[in-house]
Structure 1
Amino acid sequence: MSTSFPPPPLGGIDFALPTCGETQCNDHGTCAPPLGGGGSLVCDCVLGYQGEFCEDTVNGSLSLPLTLSVLAVIFGVLILAFLLAKLRQKQKKRTRKYLASKQVYNIVV
């Protein structure tokens, strides 16, 4: 009985294994040797991430205030539009009453 084995990885490296950046740096950076030298690798985080293991987002602290600000602006615009519509409605009603009083016709307002 013959057993077949997969071919050895190219150059002795198995590219299917997770990289140091994927495991140690939460897939948000790459592993690099420390600047002062040493045995353990440190994470070099990509733009937008920070921390020892690239676990924190730079703009994470801004997300809640930014969301609340956008919602406040939208809510303010809706209130302003509602008030302008009501003002316009009252203005039209006054104009119709004025025109009805000038005319001899009996217009129901």
Structure 2
Amino acid sequence: MATPFPPPQLGGIDLTLPTCGETQCNDHGTCVPPLGGGASLVCDCELGYQGEFCDDTVNGSLSLPLTLSVLAVIFGVLIVAFLLAKMRQKQKKRNRKHLAAKQSYKIVA
């Protein structure tokens, strides 16, 4: 049985160690030097992530308004459906009374 080879090292760099982007930027960005200069690196976040360490999702801030909007639309559709059903019920009742009066039937309401 052959022993596995150690991972390749380029110029003495161990490629199995986590990168700055994996540790500092939560694996959702890359470390870059700051625009104004400085010693510490900052995160350049991938699309869909934000924050100092790329730990906030852009979609996370939309979840509450989106949920409320969907619930409002569903509630509105239910109200309209209820009102249409009531109007149809009244119209049928009116039509029955009109037909009964036309044919001289007596309907007790």
Indicate if the aligned counterparts of 2:34 and 2:42 stay in contact, CA closer than 8 A: yes
Structure 1 alignment gaps of length 5 or more? none
2:22 and 2:6 map into 1 onto residues whose CA distance is: 25
How far residue 7 of structure 1 moved from its aligned partner, in angstroms, is 4.2
Deviates more, 1:97-106 or 1:43-52: 97-106
Could you tell me how far 1:76 is from its partner in structure 2?
A: 1.1
Query: In structure 2, what is the equivalent of residue 20 of structure 1?
Result: 20
Match of 1:71 in 2: 71
Q: Percent identity?
A: 81
* SS at 1:26 equivalent: coil
| Corresponding letter in the other structure for 2:41 | L
Deviation at 1:69, TM superposition (A): 1.7
Distance in 2 of aligned mates of 1:4 and 1:46: 38
Equivalent pairs, count? 107
| SS of residue matched to 2:88 | helix
Aligned equivalents of 1:5, 1:60: Cα separation in 2:
43
Question: Within the alignment, does 1:57 sit opposite 2:61 as a pair?
Answer: no
Structure 2 length normalisation: TM-score? 0.76
User: Cα–Cα, structure 1 residues 69 and 85, in superposed 2: closer, same or farther, change >3 Å?
Assistant: same
Change (3 A) 1:33 1:85: same
Q: Map Cα deviations across residues 8-64 of structure 1 (whole Å, 9 max, x no partner).
A: 416355544433212211122111122233332210012232221112233433321
Residue 9 in structure 1 maps to residue 32 in structure 2: no
Q: Which amino acid aligns with 1:57?
A: T
**Greater displacement, 10-19 / 93-102:** 10-19
Q: For the residues of structure 2 that align with 1:59 and 1:8, how far apart are their CA atoms?
A: 38
Q: Report the CA distance shift for 1:16/1:88 in structure 2 as closer, same or farther (over 3 A).
A: farther
- In the TM superposition, 1:11-50 aligns within 5 A as 11=10, 13-50=13-50
Distance 1:7 1:65, change over 3 A: closer
Question: What letter matches 1:26 in structure 2?
Answer: N
- Distance in 2 (alpha carbons) for counterparts of 1:103 and 1:15: 93
What are structure 2's unaligned runs of at least 5 residues? none
